[in-house]
Amino acid sequence: MSAVTQVLRSEWTKIRSVRSTVWTLGTAVVITVALGVLLCLLAKSDFGSLAAKDQIVFDPTNASFAGMGLGQLAMIVFGVLVVSNEYSTGMIRTSLAAVPQRGTFLACKLAVATALVCVVGMATSFAAFFAGQAVLGGHRAHLDDPNVLRAVIGGGLYMTLIALFSMGVATMLRSPLLSLGILMPFFFLISSILGNVPATRKIGRYLPDQAGQKIMQVVPRVNDHVTYGPWGGLAIMVGWVLAALLGGFVLLKRRDA
């Protein structure tokens, strides 16, 4: 048990000693909250011009999370850097020599990074919610309204899972450039195209980001024909994350450093 504790401490030291990883988390907070507030201000100013049917389906809670799309960019970068920094610097050989049990090594790295990103993700989600609702005024939602707390907690879980998925991909690919070169287009181009083109919309609904974002919705969207609910969507995202982490673990065990 003491050996695991030492590995956990080592991984914590690695994360906090690299400025880029710390800055990416701070960027995620700022972008998510600031953009959410801005879009809530725009929603408030345009609310009176909306048609009655659009006012009915307005989701003030989800409006607070409008910045989550860009905020997840920083979480992706964080997840990639946590894993691939050691490969790019060559320190992975030293780490694996010190901790030859590769399963323990990866589990400790993931545990420390997940705990950190979960705290930051939850704080960001609650901050985005309260800041966004403050500017919405009379159109605001309250934390004790039905399903609102679930959506806010879900926002933190979503950011955590995005980072974990990125860690799994980075463990498989090892290269930060290759990992980001795949993850960025996947989330910001491919997923968007598949989710909006009628012929591929049914496929897009089961991608990790589109399924996971369902947890942050309180008011169902118009013409939303998905067959799963908020927790079902999160479960689909968890499945993607587990597959990525399993792939990373298998390749870590089989390959040389």
- Domain borders along the chain are 2-254
Q: What is the mean pLDDT of the chain?
A: 89
The yes-or-no verdict on residue 55 having pLDDT over 80 is: no
Chain-centre distance for alpha carbon 100: 30
Long-range contacts of 194-201 (CB under 8 A, 24+ apart): none
Question: At 37, which amino acid appears?
Answer: V
Residue position matching structure tokens 């920083």: 74
Considering the entire predicted model, what is its pTM? 0.92
Residue position matching structure tokens 């691939």: 84
Helices (H), 137-147: none
pLDDT over 70 percentage in the chain: 98
State pLDDT tens for residues 119-162: 999 999 999 999 999 998 888 899 999 999 999 999 999 999 99
State pLDDT tens for residues 192-233: 888 888 888 888 899 999 999 999 999 887 666 788 899 999
The DSSP-derived string for 64-84 is HTTTHHHHHHHHHHHHHHHHH
Q: What are phi and psi of 69, to 5 degrees?
A: -60, -40
**What is the pLDDT confidence band of residue 53, given thresholds at 50, 70 and 90?**
confident
The answer to whether the CB of 194 falls within 8 A of the CB of 108 is no
**What is the pLDDT confidence band of residue 18, given thresholds at 50, 70 and 90?**
confident
Residue position matching structure tokens 């591929």: 200
Distance between CA 91 and CA 215 in Å, rounded?
Answer: 38
What's the pLDDT score for residue 246? Answer: 96
pLDDT over 90 percentage in the chain: 57
Distance between CA 60 and CA 62 in Å, rounded?
Answer: 6
State pLDDT tens for residues 88-108: 887 888 888 888 888 889 999
Distance between CA 132 and CA 125 in Å, rounded?
Answer: 10
Distance between CA 206 and CA 214 in Å, rounded?
Answer: 11
Distance between CA 75 and CA 28 in Å, rounded?
Answer: 6
The answer to whether the CB of 82 falls within 8 A of the CB of 15 is yes
DSSP 22: H
Which of 160, 156, 164, 159 is CA-nearest to residue 122?
156
